[in-house]
Structures are given as C-alpha cells and as structure tokens.
Chain A
C-alpha cells in the first residue's frame, strides 16, 4: 500500500484481505437505485417499527407457536411470515430487528470511523513514537481475526446493545487507522500542507484544517464499506448468544432461535431473517463500491 510504512507487510495484507477483493460490482456512473431503495426501506422500518409492526415483537402466545407463513398451508393472514417457538410474529420481529441492526451498525461504524480516523491522522502526521505506538497496537489487534476478537470481547463484557457498539468499534477502528494513516503520509508531502507549515500554522491547526477535510472522503467510503461487515459481525455475535440479549429481536438472535426449529422443517424462521441480513449487507456493499469508484481514486485499487 505505501512503501514508506515502517510496519510489517502482514498488516497491509490483512487489510487488503478484507478490502482487496471487493468488486466495484457493476461499475457504472449511475446511482445504485435498488440498493438505496433497500437501505431506505429498512431505515423506514427501523424508524416506524412501532407503527408498522402488526404484533408485539417480544411477547407471543404459546397457543400460536410455529405457525407457517400466510401463503403456506396452515398459515393465516394474521401472521404474514409465521411465528416462532414462542408464538411471536416473525414479521414484527424482523421489523424491530431492522432497528437493532441499523442502530448498532451505523453507530459502530461511526464510532470506529471517528476513532480510527483520529488515530490515523495522529499516527501519520505526527510520526515518531506516536506513530510507532499506534501502529504497533494496530498490528497486534489486526493479528486476530476481527470476528474472533469481537466474540472474545463480547463474551468478556457481557451482552447489551451499548457493549456491542463498543466491541465493534474496538474490533474495526484499526482498518480506518491504517488506510487514513497511509493517506496522511502522502498528504503531508503535498504543497498546501507544506505551505501551511511554512506559514507557521500549528500542528493541530494543520491536522484539523488541512488534513482532516482531505481524508473525510476516504473515511466515508470506508465507513460505507465497513457497514456490511459490521452488520454481519453483529448478527454473528447475536447468533452465538454474546450479542444483543434476548428477548430483543435481533436478526442474529432470530437465526439462533430458528436453528432450533430447523430440523423440524420450520424454514421460515431461518430464511426470513437470513434474507434480511443478506439484503441489507448486499445493499450496503453495493453503495460502498459505488461511492469508492466515484469519490475515492486511492481506494479504487484496493
């Protein structure tokens, strides 16, 4: 990535592992309307969950357990996507689950982004021992697969939505720090930054006024690309039972519950939350790729 980085090559490889093989799937200049519509749909569901959801998402009636979707024999229009092992309405849980995924996903991406960008700028601009410390920590943290690290942290701090956000931010800030640092290193050599140094601006002013605005693009693109990863990780954690605590309706939790009914053939408990995760992540990735191609030539070759 950048030859001047005095850090082991494996970290940049670890990074490229997550980013390098992403495709600008359908590289066109056109706005990716379908992905945007999908995200918007989920966002609306999340915001108006209380209004839209036909049933209570957390309480069901045991007399209505394992009802299949409405269009399958034995299903009723009352429970469009069927009910789970506690008789809770799947559709309502999916709608409230969107809220969990969106809130956790966006917050974690933003927290990680702010933290990682700040540290990346400090590391790249100040250099010296600050750079060494930040980059050594980044290396060490990148050595563990983010998922293992997150599972580990989640198990340690215990389940709550707040904790999940912290964990995801802790697991993913390193990606931002690496990329942003690389950009800052090249920005540092540019004329407008040198001019500011000559003009006697303080380091902090330069970082805030000259460097930050120039890396914001990359940070936003990276954040969009990370959104899918973060949502998958949250679902994984919830699936393992170390994420969002039950009875809150998170998609990962629903899958974990659904697994119990899988062998009995209650497919709707797996397929619907699975499809939601897939659609949301797919949409986020497509938008991320589009943004990258459009706005960030540096990230394009990642």
Chain B
C-alpha cells in the first residue's frame, strides 16, 4: 500500500515537472514577449531594459529553474499585461469558472444519469436508440457551436437570455449548457455501460431470484452500484470542466480561467499562460491521483498489485 502510494505520487510529480518543462520551453521558443508589451516605436534600449527586468536575457535553464522554484513557493510572477500577481488574477477568476463548472456538471448529471439508466434498462429499445443518437451528437457537435446555436435561439430569436457576460443566474445557463453538453453524453454513456454491467452481475440476478419487484431490483441493487464509477468520473470531469471551458468562456465572454488563458495567449502574457496551464494541469494530475488512491483504498486487488 505504502509503495503504491509512493509510486503514484512520484508519477504525478514527474508528470507535473514534465508538463511545466514542456510549457515553459514552448512559450520561450516562440518569440519575444517584449515586442507585445511595449508600444510600437519603443527604442532598443527600452526593450533591453524590459528584457532585463523580466529576466528574459538569462539562459533558458536558469529561467526555468527560477520559474520552477517560484511556483513551488506559489509565486507565479507578475502579469506582464495587468501588472498584478498572476496567482491573484487566477484566483479572482477561479470562482467564476467553478460556478460555471458546477452548473454545467448539474446539467450533465441531470441529463446523463437518468437517460443512461433508461437506455440500459430498455436495452435496444426506443430510449436506447434516442440515447445513442444523443451520445453521438454530444461527441460530434462542438461546445462552441452548441453555444452559438443557443445564443441564436434564446437570445436572438426568443430574446429570453443574455448572450454574454455574467452577473445573474440567467447569464450562467447557456454557457453551462454548452459546456455540460459534451459531458452529459459522456455521463450518459458511462451510466449506461456501468448499469449494464451491474444488471448482468450475479447479485442482481440473485435479487431477481429472490422475487424482488423489478423496480426495487433496479432502484436499490443496481442503481447504487452503477453510480460509483459515474460519480468518480464526474469528480474528474468537474476539474476538467474548469480547464476546457476556454472556448465556451470566449463565446459567452464569461470571465473565468479559460478566458484568462485566452487573454494571456492573445497578449503574449507569459506568466498568465504558464500559470493557467500549469495550475490546470496540476489540478487534473492531483484529481487523478486522488481517484487512484481512493480506488486503491476501495479495491484490494489494486492495493496489493505490483
């Protein structure tokens, strides 16, 4: 058990280092951020001064080392553009992203779980076919297109919902649906297959052999067991939602972390890009690590496995 934990944590840490390394070098390879930070016509001396001030004149490895030791201390530097600490900027946006993700998750579960269960119980029936079409659409229609179509229908045609911005409950509905769309299909699919697995299990067979009413078999014996993997995935997906919302947030001008990343990219704001991507990656790595460890606690086969 101990060895397992140590190895998993080690892998996670290694992933993070590789990730930060990749990101750092890609950013530095591309070009000179001072060009974007200074007004056109700035003198060469101004540029040099800025480069020095930002530490861009030092060797890459030194820069990376500084970067790494800083992020370990939780210091992601100053935003070139906003001139405020990046971490502060990040945390000012994070609540918006979380709010969006939570609503999107609610949508995806409220749609995904019941439809997945019905599809599994009525296997190959009408509901199952509808579910298959839905799952296919969830995969094939990108979230930003869903967002645009929602705007077209609810904002332009019906005039019911605000097309962008934040502030009220009404603002969050469309971006959350657009974001949750893809995940609703994912959760539906997983609920369906998980439910099918459970429905084929010996204990459900025994529950039927006991003469329990079918409704009780499904609601009590199957549902609870089928939900475990779905909720696990939902946990990871919540973290993922915060980090893949960049497009939906751009469509709806939602002031979340994704929007911050996009601004950082547009303004070539190194620290912002680095921070959002590194923190995002770290969140996902940690979430996965937690799930792995949790499973190890639950499942003895993993615990004592190699």
What residues of chain A have their CB less than 8 Å away from a CB belonging to chain B? 3, 6-10, 13-14, 17, 20-23, 25-26, 136-137, 139-141, 143-145, 147-148, 151-153, 155-158, 228, 232, 235-236, 239-242, 255, 258-259, 262-263, 265, 267, 270-271, 274, 277-278, 281-282, 285-286
Contact = CB atoms under 8 A, between A and B. Distances in A.
A155 B136 contact: no
A143 to B, nearest CB: 5
Nearest to B188: A21
Contacts of A285: 136, 139-140
A152 B264 CA distance: 10
Contacts of B145: 255, 274, 277-278
A148 B243 contact: yes
B128 to A, nearest CB: 10
Contacts, number: 179
A155 B246 contact: no
Nearest to A286: B136
Contacts of B260: none
Contacts of A262: 148, 151-152, 156, 163
Contacts of A277: 142, 145
B22 A140 contact: yes
B160 to A, nearest CB: 14
Given A241-B266, A281-B142, 17 more contacts: A9-B292, A10-B288, A10-B292, A21-B185, A21-B193, A22-B135, A25-B136, A144-B243, A145-B244, A148-B244, A148-B280, A232-B142, A255-B148, A262-B148, A281-B139, A282-B136, A282-B140
A140 to B, nearest CB: 4
Interface in B180-200: 185-186, 188-190, 193
A14 B288 contact: yes
Contacts of B22: 140-141
B215 to A, nearest CB: 26
A54 to B, nearest CB: 25
At the interface, is chain A mostly helix, strand, loop or mixed? Answer: helix
Interface string B145-173: 10011011001100000010000000000
Contacts of A9: 288, 291-292, 295, 302
A255 B246 contact: no
Contacts of B291: 9-10, 13
At the interface, is chain B mostly helix, strand, loop or mixed? Answer: helix
Contacts of B292: 8-10
A270 B244 contact: no
A21 B284 CA distance: 20
B265 A152 contact: yes
B11 A7 contact: yes
* Interchain residue pairs A-B with the least CB separation, the first 4: A21-B189, A10-B288, A155-B265, A140-B18
A152 B273 contact: yes
B124 to A, nearest CB: 10
Contacts of B148: 255, 258-259, 262, 270, 274
Given A156-B29, A270-B148, A285-B139, A144 B247 contact: no
Contacts of A151: 246, 261-262, 265
Contacts of B265: 151-152, 155-156, 242
B243 A22 contact: no
Contacts of B189: 20-23
B97 to A, nearest CB: 13
Given A25-B133, A141-B22, A278-B145, A240 B156 contact: no
B15 A143 contact: yes
Given A23-B132, A25-B133, A282-B140, A147 B156 contact: no
A137 B14 CA distance: 9
Interface residues of B, number: 67
Contacts of A10: 236, 285, 288-289, 291-292
A282 B141 CA distance: 8
B260 to A, nearest CB: 12
B237 to A, nearest CB: 8
A144 to B, nearest CB: 5
Given A23-B135, A156-B27, A236 B186 contact: no
B277 A157 contact: no
B139 A152 contact: no
A282 B292 CA distance: 34
B288 A147 contact: no
Contact of B284 (A20, A144, A286): A144
A120 to B, nearest CB: 18
Contacts of B133: 25
B297 interface: no
B251 interface: yes
A10 B237 CA distance: 12
B156 to A, nearest CB: 6
7 contacts: A10-B291, A10-B292, A13-B288, A20-B190, A145-B284, A152-B23, A263-B151
A158 B149 CA distance: 29
A136 B246 contact: no
Contact of A8 (B11, B156, B185): B11
Could you say which of B31, B145, B295 has the most chain A C-beta atoms within 10 Å of its C-beta? B145
B249 to A, nearest CB: 11
A6 B163 contact: no
Nearest to B283: A143
Contacts of B251: 259
Interface string B233-251: 1001100100110110011
A26 B261 contact: no
